[in-house]
Amino acid sequence: MAALALACAIPVEVERPATARLSLRHPPAGSVVGMSGLHGGYAWLGIPYGLPPEGALRWRAPRAFPAWSGTRDALSFGSSCPQFASPLGGDDSAPPGTLVGSEDCLLLNVYSPAFATGELPTGERRRPVMLWIHGGGNTMGTSRFYDGSGLATREDVVVVTVNYRLGPLGWLRHAALREGRDPIEASGNFGTLDLILALEWVRANIASFGGDPDNITLFGESAGGWNVLSLLASPLTRGSFQRAISQSGITWSATPAEAEHFADAPEPGRPQSSGEILLKLLQADGTAADRDAAKRVLAGWSGRETARYLRAKSVRELYAAYGKFQGLPLVFRDGAVLPSAPLAQQLEDSGAVHSVPLMLGTNRNEERIFLFLDPYYVRWWFWFYPQLRDPPRYYRNAIYMTRVWRAIAVDEMARSLAPRRRGSVFAYRFDWDEEPRIWGVDLPEMIGASHGLEIPFVFGHWDLGREGTQLFTPENSEGREALSADMMSYWAEFARNGDPGRGRDGRAVRWTAWDPEGDHFAVLNTPADGGVTMARSTESIDAVVQDILADPSFEDARERCHALNVVWRWARLKFTADAYRAVADGLCADFPLRPTVQTRPPSD
């Protein structure tokens, strides 16, 4: 789930000696010199926290980067992790669809207020730490898109942003890769392990930047929120962080069988399982002529031969087999890094997740941006003028898909956790939709408060490249600046005390905890559209299903069954395959369950 390109990279400049002296820090990892932050304070970019996971270290648990002697210049971001280039929140250094990045990518960036070297806060004066995990479906994204200097300086916190392995390099599980490994390294959750190592680096080193290692808030959006929730359930992170914020996070996870088996096995694997990737690789390089021949080759190999074959493949070959649109890599229920029970189930069990204050939220029109970019729903004239092909279908489908997202990302968890954790579960809905109307195109209606649009409000800056230039204009500046100030203040206060309250300055509207008998969430909007208010309503999977079945606007069974299929794919814990068939009552016999979530109905 790619977010819009929601932050800008800091230009690397030659620093003046005075700035270098002022930004000199001496963490246990090794001394570093930073630079002036783009929006104030200091920034240290491209600090390695793990050895490059390449060669023999590919598909292994990350190894901590050894401490260095001398002073390291932390003035540039370094490489993003391998991915297909995209302007929508990913690496945009090449044309979209181009393979970019390097396996030497386990890097992080630190942003702090402008503390002088001899005036770093100590003890109780250390600042809250906010560790940002980028989104991008765990297939794309890079920390350099998210400049933390404005949030750090305006709200007096220390911000860290991090890279982690993506796609088949981040989440791949196979028996051959497990031979001789301990349960943690055998898990296949390598991207998750990268984030755990980054968290360990922060705990060990952040005091040297003025941050409090005993007050760390994890926050992330989309797949970043998903990863925050994964770390909330991991037994390896207990006590490692003190608050968690999931912005539009999801709760999907895969069984070992789904991660490894062939798609046509009795217990089938997913389309991008390790078994399927191996079959594609063997056919692509000519080792096998077809799928059956590839299976015979694998049956004759030892585990060591299979592992050697996989590690000998180039990143380009791996990504060609993985494909650009093969679905998201799911975290695995391995029983060591993550529990063996479904992640969604874990997150609804108060005793199964770390007992830290939790903030959950979604955007009012999450799905519209995905439909807006889909030619099935939108026709583009002359490459710049969009026209909805069928407006009622566009808005109806976006509403149902957004409701499902809200149910699994916020309400199902909050409804379960809040009664047992009084005062520590907070929720929001982001409502900003004051985009301009361009050439008669009604962007506020077509896009609205779409997925990812809350991110610049949290980070407090608007230089987002071409897309941002179109969305953020002088006409909507006053309202968005006011809303951004409120949101930054709420996020920082939550990081400081575990309760957004009235924000860090105490002047915002009181944001109260989820109350089963009262208000459920904060509506985040501009003063002109009602400002910040508390609201009372919830979504559930059952309600979405019943509304789809009763909705007379569906033109045919294919459209209605597709909507039910989306619900099944998003929320199988609540809406099983048997339940899908039961509620459809024979209606969907000709439209079987699909292995991936799609925005459009199938054509067959």
Question: Phi/psi of residue 506, each to 5°?
Answer: 75, 15
Mean residue pLDDT across the chain: 92
User: How does pLDDT run across 156-214, given as a tens digit for each residue?
Assistant: 999 999 999 999 999 999 999 999 999 999 999 999 999 999 999 999 999 999 999 99
pLDDT computed for residue 7 by the predictor? 32
Q: Which of 149-153, 225-229, 297-301, 582-586 has the lowest mean pLDDT?
A: 582-586
Helices (H), 383-513: 391-406, 412-417, 443-446, 455-459, 465-471, 477-497
Question: Which is it for the CA torsion 466, 472, 475, 481, positive or negative?
Answer: negative
Question: Which is it for the CA torsion 334, 335, 341, 346, positive or negative?
Answer: negative
pLDDT computed for residue 469 by the predictor? 67
Please, what is the angle between helix 274-284 and helix 315-322, to 10°? Answer: 110
Please provide the DSSP assignment of 79-124 as one string.
PPPSEE--TTTS--SSSTT-EE--S---EEEEEE----GGG---GG
Q: How many residues does the chain have?
A: 604
Domains defined along the chain, listed by start: 17-247 (3.40.50.1820), 256-322 (no CATH), 365-410+427-535 (no CATH), 559-604 (no CATH)
pLDDT computed for residue 2 by the predictor? 36
Alpha-carbon distance 229 to 249, whole Å? 7
pLDDT computed for residue 581 by the predictor? 81
pLDDT computed for residue 195 by the predictor? 98
Helix (H) or strand (E) holding 211: strand 211-221
User: How does pLDDT run across 253-293, given as a tens digit for each residue?
Assistant: 999 999 999 999 999 999 899 999 999 999 999 999 999 99
State the pLDDT confidence band at 308, using cuts at 50, 70 and 90.
Answer: very high
C-alpha count within 13 angstroms, C-beta hemisphere, residue 426? 30
Alpha-carbon distance 76 to 48, whole Å? 11
> What are the structure tokens assigned to 437, written together?
């109307």
pLDDT computed for residue 1 by the predictor? 37
pLDDT computed for residue 6 by the predictor? 33
User: How does pLDDT run across 64-117, given as a tens digit for each residue?
Assistant: 999 999 999 999 999 999 999 988 778 888 898 899 999 999 999 999 999 987
> What are the structure tokens assigned to 289, written together?
């002529």
Residue partners of 479: CB distance under 8 A and separation at least 6: 432, 434, 526, 527, 528, 529
State the pLDDT confidence band at 18, using cuts at 50, 70 and 90.
Answer: low
User: Is residue 23 pLDDT above 80, yes or no?
Assistant: yes
Looking at the DSSP bridge assignments, the partners of residue 425 are 358
Looking at the DSSP bridge assignments, the partners of residue 428 are 361, 522
State the pLDDT confidence band at 600, using cuts at 50, 70 and 90.
Answer: confident
Helices (H), 285-406: 291-300, 303-312, 315-322, 343-347, 368-372, 391-406
pLDDT computed for residue 86 by the predictor? 87
> What are the structure tokens assigned to 416, written together?
């379960």
Based on the number of CB atoms within 10 Å of its own CB, is 114 exposed (0-12), middle (13-18) or buried (19 or more)? middle
Quickly count: other Cβ atoms within 10 Å of residue 23's Cβ.
26
User: Is residue 122 pLDDT above 70, yes or no?
Assistant: yes
Amino acid at 7: A
State the residue for tokens 């050894």: 66
Please provide the DSSP assignment of 3-58 as one string.
PP----PPPP-PPPHHHHHHT-B--TT-EEE-EE-TTSSEEEEEEE-B----GGGT
User: How does pLDDT run across 361-387, given as a tens digit for each residue?
Assistant: 999 999 999 999 999 999 988 777 899
